[in-house]
Amino acid sequence: MGTGIDLLIIEDEVRLVGVLLRGLGEEGFAVRIARTGEAGLAQAAEKDPQVVVLDVGLPGIDGFETCRRLRDAGHWAPILMLSAQATVEDRVHGLESGADDYLTKPFSFAELLARVRALTRRHRRESAEALTTGSLSLDPAQRRAWRGTAELKLSAREFDLLEALMRRPGHAVSRDWLLEQVWDIAYEQRSNVVDVYVRYLRAKIDEPFGTNSLQTVRGVGYRLTAESG
């Protein structure tokens, strides 16, 4: 049975590309391949992918820069970044460039598949009821969100984070709770990924509008309020 999900792999290692192409193809993904970041950007421009597997080490522009350019060009598909490096700083760098998840080489195909599935499942999940918190509104089915009448341009993770917060309006929620809701794969406790994404979200839902709705609750975590000033 095929998922038919359009998946773009941007990776130059021929052997790894072969394994991914075969494995993901067998799982029913419609796989496209690019060997460089530039080629990947061109493929994405041709047809907006539904999920991207992106290597950091590429000839020409690297995966971080490719990721930034994909986001700048308005591609909001979830991006799983691959890297030979394992430090927390690298992972945060990857996430800061706009990636949604990060996998360190070497990895098993089963692990990659689990992460791709988690990203696409979340991306495709549909629960019909629209949410509102103050002047924020969000349509989970269409995956669109607005502040007043202005549509917000959010990455997949940013959208999921906002949705999680909007499902608990006015409540202080912990970083661990947000990690569970928004990141399927367990991150290290010390990871500051939630804080990084809260910063991204504030820059999109509050700062341009002069609002302060996404608040830090000392010793607890965060709270989204209907307060608009």
* Least distance in angstroms from the C-beta of 94 to Ca ion: 14
Place of tokens 């999680």: 164
Q: Which is nearer to Ca ion, 2 or 60 (CB)?
A: 60
Within 10 A of 188 (CB to CB), how many other CB atoms are there?
A: 10
Q: Output the smallest distance, CB 20 to Ca ion, in A.
A: 12
- When the beta carbons of 53 and 152 are compared against Ca ion, the nearer one is 53
Q: How many residues does the chain have?
A: 229
Please report, as ranges, the residues that interact with Ca ion according to CB under 5 A.
Answer: 12-13, 55, 57
Give CA–CA dist 54/5, Å, rounded: 16
The two tokens of residue 161 are 């984070």
Hey, what are 72's tokens? Answer: 């700048």
Residue 31 CB, shortest distance to Ca ion, in Å, is 17
Alpha helices, DSSP H, located in the chain: 14-26, 37-46, 63-72, 88-96, 109-124, 156-166, 175-182, 193-205
- The residue number whose beta carbon is nearest to Ca ion equals 57
What is the spatial distance between Cα 157 and Cα 121, in angstroms, rounded to a whole number? Answer: 13
Q: Considering the complex, state which of residue 11 and residue 158 has its C-beta at the smaller distance from Ca ion.
A: 11
Closest CB to Ca ion among 15 and 190?
Answer: 15
CB 49 within 8 A of CB 24: no
User: How far apart are CB 35 and Ca ion at their closest, in Å?
Assistant: 9
Check if the beta carbon of residue 9 is closer than 8 Å to that of residue 34: yes
Minimum distance from residue 154 beta carbon to Ca ion (Å): 29
| Residue nearer to Ca ion on the CB measure, 83 or 133 | 83
Nearest distance in Å: CB 103, Ca ion? 13
Query: Which residue type is seen at 56?
Result: V
Q: Which is nearer to Ca ion, 16 or 138 (CB)?
A: 16
